[in-house]
Structure 1
Amino acid sequence: MQGQSPTPDGQVADAVKGNWVDTHAPAWSRPYLRLSRADRPIGTWLLLIPCWWGLALAILWDDTPVWQDAWIFVACGLGAWLMRGAGCTWNDITDRNFDGAVERTRSRPIPSGQVTVRGAVTWMCAQALVAFGILMTFNWAAIGMGVLALLPVAVYPFAKRFTWWPQIFLGLAFNWGAMLAWVAHTGSLAWPPVILYLAGIAWTLFYDTIYAHQDTEDDALIGVKSTARLFGDNSPSWLRRFIVATVGLMALAVVLAAHVDANLLTLLIALAGPWAMGWHMTWQLRVFDPENNPRLLKLFRLNRDTGLIPLIFFAVATFV
């Protein structure tokens, strides 16, 4: 399969149909944008949303919104796009041999021959450098948090080789922004963002276990581990536990973040966020079918909405 794209015009098999990369981006840029998953934006949302959670709870914590928060909000969006792109490029570099052996991933740019490993490394470094420039506009504590985030990002692609729980490592990387955005606003770390971070990891275990069920047969053949393979028919029970953990930990983070003078209405509105998120996750569990790959992918993508639900309540609570 190396050197030959298995899909028309190099399109990736699980990309969003009619996405802007395949339809509007210059032809020369498409392989690199596909490396960054720009044709599959859900990952950027899943990386960005915890950042916005952290910022919203930080404002709730000190009840001191400032104009800098608007920049933190925008910068998190730019940084999430860039670092998700750099992280996915790194993932594709390390997984290039595995991807070529899996039906869903063999159309990716490296195994299909659209991009060389050297070209991918150059593209990864370019994205990371621009993201670092954005990070440098934050306070020094947040800059330090951003640099530390590189550790779980670097380790994640190898996790599936040595543990049945690679989704934990994905959660460690994808939810780091909850703490980083908090520190960008407050200048220091505290318990609420740490607990929010743990809630995000539980959420990642939920949605990425659903996602991993698409590849269980191929993963078994090539020896790749995942929670989907580990749980098997018991996945619904585990997914239910992840819902409880997500809702419970996020609710605790909200209670701890509520300003000492916050009124009861503010607290109730903020707590409605994890409650509503839990109901959305419960609905996903009800329609979960591990044998239905199109539905699995659809449910995975729906987690953008899942994550935005509590953010809406947090934002309203800051204005009450």
Structure 2
Amino acid sequence: MDYKKVIYKGKQFGELVMFSHTLFSLPFAVISMVWAAGGWPTWWIMIWGLIALIGARNGANAFNRLADRWFDEQNPRTASRHLPKKLLKTKEVAIFITVNYLIFIIAASMLNTLCMVLSPVAILLITVYSYTKRFTWLSHLYLGFVIASAPIGAWFAVTGQFAFTPFVLGTIVMLWIAGFDVIYGTQDIEFDRRHGLWSIPSFFGLKSALWIAKGMHFVMMMMLVFLYYFRDLSWMYLIGLGIATILLMTEHGIIKPNQPKLMKIASYNLNQVISMVILFCTLIDYFLVS
């Protein structure tokens, strides 16, 4: 076996699905698990829950790249991605998607009956996202909606039951993701308009889109404050929200669609920090303060 080739391919697939972006959904999934379990869940649930999350996310991201490969080829900003540059073959990506979706179904089945039954529905929902940009500017919210399945699914993994809290967490994730996806989408306003792709920036224009993103993030923070009262949390949780608010304000303050490096910081890097800050402060609040 050519181990160098295997390592190279693994690196290419990791870049294809932007594996580091797992930090967007994983922290909220962990919070959901801890609250659902009343502490740390069993290792069985944590391991299979993590495998399910990674399988679903990797499959969905790879499918999105596959579905958008023609548009990526036409867009100068994305023309260097793996499929346009033929760093990965279409067949390889299709196999990767199938394997990850199977992993997701198997992992969900190892958790409980509710997760097993809902796993095909989850695959359908996350796969459909790749086509929403063809017909609605609500695609950003739909993206947030499918990523919101992480904390909701995490709660189901622990309890096997529906509850109010995970859907609040899910809504928070949906608005947060949609908000910074709108910010990211401001880079492609003219391209989207020329190629018939729908987005909030291309439909409403730059200024209105940025105000919509601010509104989404404002409501997100208000819902996090609501959880402070609803879950009877402490001052440590509020410190996390304070830091997250400062980071969100910084994010909105540095937006310049014509500067890719700043846009990457605003859309991705700062949000990875935000989710980790909320996670750590919430866990410290739960285990050490409350």
Q: Smaller-chain TM-score range?
A: 0.7 to 0.9
Are 2:286 and 1:318 equivalent residues in the alignment?
yes
Q: 1:44 aligns to what?
A: 22
Q: CA deviation at 1:160?
A: 0.5
Q: How does 1:41-190 map to 2 (within 5 A)?
A: 41-59=19-37, 64-68=38-42, 70-190=43-163
Are 2:236 and 1:269 equivalent residues in the alignment?
yes
Q: 1:248 aligns to what?
A: 222
Match of 2:140, SS state, is helix
Q: 1:295 aligns to what?
A: 262
Q: CA deviation at 1:179?
A: 0.7
1:144 to 1:267, Cα distance in 2 relative to 1, 3 A: farther
Q: CA deviation at 1:305?
A: 0.7
The answer to whether the 8 Å contact 2:156/2:162 transfers is yes
1:37 to 1:132, Cα distance in 2 relative to 1, 3 A: farther
1:183 to 1:267, Cα distance in 2 relative to 1, 3 A: farther
Are 2:277 and 1:309 equivalent residues in the alignment?
yes
The aligned amino acid for 2:193 is A
Q: 1:224 aligns to what?
A: 197
Higher mean C-alpha displacement, 73-82 vs 246-255: 73-82
Q: CA deviation at 1:199?
A: 0.9
Are 2:245 and 1:278 equivalent residues in the alignment?
yes
Match of 1:228, SS state, is helix
The answer to whether the 8 Å contact 1:58/1:186 transfers is yes
Are 2:201 and 1:234 equivalent residues in the alignment?
no
Q: 1:7 aligns to what?
A: none
TM-score (norm 2): 0.87
1:97 to 1:123, Cα distance in 2 relative to 1, 3 A: same
The answer to whether the 8 Å contact 1:165/1:227 transfers is yes
1:311 to 1:191, Cα distance in 2 relative to 1, 3 A: same
Are 2:184 and 1:211 equivalent residues in the alignment?
yes
Q: CA RMSD in A?
A: 2.4
Q: 1:8 aligns to what?
A: none
Match of 2:25, SS state, is helix
Q: 1:10 aligns to what?
A: none
The answer to whether the 8 Å contact 2:55/2:100 transfers is yes
Larger % of helix: which?
2
Q: CA deviation at 1:230?
A: 3.0
The answer to whether the 8 Å contact 1:247/1:275 transfers is no
Unaligned runs of 5+ in 2: none
Q: Deviations over 1:20-54 (max 9, x none)?
A: xxxxx833564565345367334222232331232
The aligned amino acid for 2:173 is G
The answer to whether the 8 Å contact 1:51/1:181 transfers is yes
Q: Deviations over 1:121-146 (max 9, x none)?
A: 22211122123222222122233344
Q: CA deviation at 1:251?
A: 2.5
TM-score (norm 1): 0.79
1:236 to 1:115, Cα distance in 2 relative to 1, 3 A: closer
In structure 2, distance between residues paired with 1:163 and 1:197: 21
Aligned residues: 284
